[in-house]
Amino acid sequence: MKNLTINSLVRENILKLQPYISFRDHNEFNEPVMLDANECPFGEFNRYPDSSQKKLKNKLAELKNLLPEQIAIGNGSDELIDLIIKIFCEPKKDAILMMNPSFAMYGFYAAVNENEVVKLDLDENFEIVKDDFLKITQEREIKVFFLCSPNNPTGNSVEDLEFFLQNFNGIVVIDEAYIEFSGNRSGIELLDKYPNLIVLQTFSKAWGKAGARVGTAYASEEIIRFINTVKAPYNVNSLSQELILNLLEDDNMLKDNVDKVLKERDWLKEQFNSIECIVKVFPTDANFFLIQMADGSTVYQKMLEKEILTSQRAPAIPDCIRINVGSREENEKLINVLKEIQS
């Protein structure tokens, strides 16, 4: 960031905004009589959750070698994406930049906030052309750049992340939803070097807890303060906080999950070699494959008839289908159906 401060990037009304602070969550009590929040005194989970998620942030800070003040917890990464756009992008004025193709929700939340979405087209290998990036960012002012690595739906990781951090005068968001499957080092290691960096991670993929809806943002204390100011007071429920805290106490669960997925990913890749309707399997660092079919629409429909649910990527990526790694039983059903389909 050249001669820019975080405050200079934040919307003026957000700078003036005062956060909602839960009195009980910011004070210590021994045996409080809770008559302050209009809750029902009866039943299980009758009290509001910890609005500041102190225990969860402390545990994550310990695991990530960060301060709790560098962590924000969201109702899934989607909420955090929405909040980032709201904090930094003035409606009807500012623009975001996203890879194309990439995760559609960056553009969705920008559109909801009435921000222009500028798309950086990837090359035939789904990689960023650096000259195209420099041209776009030099020709126009862009507030937030979303980098999905590994990228959804293409599966490949973004190379040379620091190049984009060094050459962008705005907020860079690295979305690492699939990083556990890649073996790559996290952008969290770059936080001390780049104050304009936000790293998103999630418990929905490798951790296997999509139903809990818990995402995390790692950034400077300054950026996290703004996220905590704008977020809803009780955005992550008590059940999810408790579930994730217990999950983090299991030293082996994540590794076991990743090992199983990678084993199935290798098995699937080998099986795809003998499938007649498959034209190309793109390299992947994630828990899914992007696959070009001889006739993507027909293959997709025939799989759907057999109740094999996949993600059709046409027309954005012609004849391509995104298929995520399942259990061995699920994967065998997929392969058997694909073998029945003629090219």
Q: Mind listing the pLDDT tens digit for each residue in 308-317?
A: 999 999 999 9
Same domain, 124 and 207: yes
**How many CA within 13 A on the CB side of residue 267?**
17
Angstrom distance (rounded) from CA 36 to CA 34: 6
**Longest Cα–Cα distance in the chain:** 70
Q: What is the pLDDT of residues 105-150, one digit of tens each?
A: 999 999 999 999 999 999 999 999 999 999 999 999 999 999 999 9
Does the structure show a pLDDT above 80 at 251?
yes
Domain boundary among 199, 222, 248: 248
CATH at 161: 3.40.640.10
Dihedral (CA of 158, 143, 123, 106) sign = positive
Angstrom distance (rounded) from CA 330 to CA 309: 11
Q: β-strand 215-218 against 197-202: which pairing, if any?
A: antiparallel
Angstrom distance (rounded) from CA 294 to CA 169: 42
126 burial (CB, 10 Å; 0-12 / 13-18 / 19+) is: buried
Report yes or no on 1 lying in a domain: no
Same domain, 214 and 333: no
CATH at 293: 3.90.1150.10
Domain boundary among 248, 268, 299: 248
272: containing domain: 253-340
Same domain, 161 and 219: yes
Tokens of 261: 């997925």
Report yes or no on 236 lying in a domain: yes
pLDDT value of residue 28? 83
Domain boundary among 223, 248, 273: 248
Same domain, 269 and 165: no
pLDDT value of residue 24? 83
Task: For the chain, report the end-to-end CA distance as a whole number of angstroms.
Answer: 51
Same domain, 139 and 215: yes
Angstrom distance (rounded) from CA 114 to CA 26: 35
Angstrom distance (rounded) from CA 70 to CA 127: 30
Report yes or no on 278 lying in a domain: yes
Report yes or no on 2 lying in a domain: no
pLDDT value of residue 20? 83
Angstrom distance (rounded) from CA 286 to CA 323: 11
Does the structure show a pLDDT above 60 at 213?
yes
* Selection from 215, 214, 175 nearest residue 197 by Cα: 175
Q: What domain count does the chain have?
A: 2
Q: β-strand 71-74 against 215-218: which pairing, if any?
A: antiparallel
Looking at 21-101, list the stretches that DSSP marks H as alpha helix, in order from N- to C-terminal side: 54-64, 76-88
Angstrom distance (rounded) from CA 128 to CA 280: 20
Report yes or no on 3 lying in a domain: no
Q: What is the pLDDT of residues 90-103, one digit of tens each?
A: 999 999 999 999 99
Same domain, 229 and 103: yes
Q: What is the pLDDT of residues 11-23, one digit of tens each?
A: 999 999 988 888 8
Same domain, 240 and 263: no
Angstrom distance (rounded) from CA 300 to CA 311: 8
Same domain, 332 and 240: no
Angstrom distance (rounded) from CA 88 to CA 12: 9
What DSSP state is assigned to residue 171?
E
Same domain, 232 and 263: no
**How many CA within 13 A on the CB side of residue 15?**
11
Stretch 189-202: mean pLDDT, rounded? 97
| Residue 290 near residue 271 (C-beta atoms within 8 A) | no
pLDDT value of residue 138? 94
Same domain, 24 and 169: yes
Cis peptide upstream of residue 318 (ω within 30 degrees of 0) = no
Stretch 162-190: mean pLDDT, rounded? 97
Same domain, 32 and 128: yes
Does the structure show a pLDDT above 80 at 3?
no
Report yes or no on 170 lying in a domain: yes
Angstrom distance (rounded) from CA 111 to CA 121: 19
Stretch 277-290: mean pLDDT, rounded? 97
pLDDT value of residue 4? 79
Q: What is the pLDDT of residues 52-65, one digit of tens each?
A: 999 999 999 999 99
Does the structure show a pLDDT above 60 at 40?
yes
pLDDT value of residue 343? 55
Report yes or no on 230 lying in a domain: yes
What b-and-e string marks burial along 33-62, b requiring 16 or more CB atoms within 10 Å of the CB?
Answer: eeeeeeeeeeeeeeebbbbbbeebbebbbe
Report yes or no on 5 lying in a domain: no
* Selection from 30, 105, 35 nearest residue 96 by Cα: 105
* Selection from 253, 252, 235, 256 nearest residue 56 by Cα: 235
Please give the mean pLDDT across all residues of the chain.
95
Same domain, 303 and 323: yes
Question: For residue 253, which amino acid is it?
Answer: M
pLDDT value of residue 37? 87
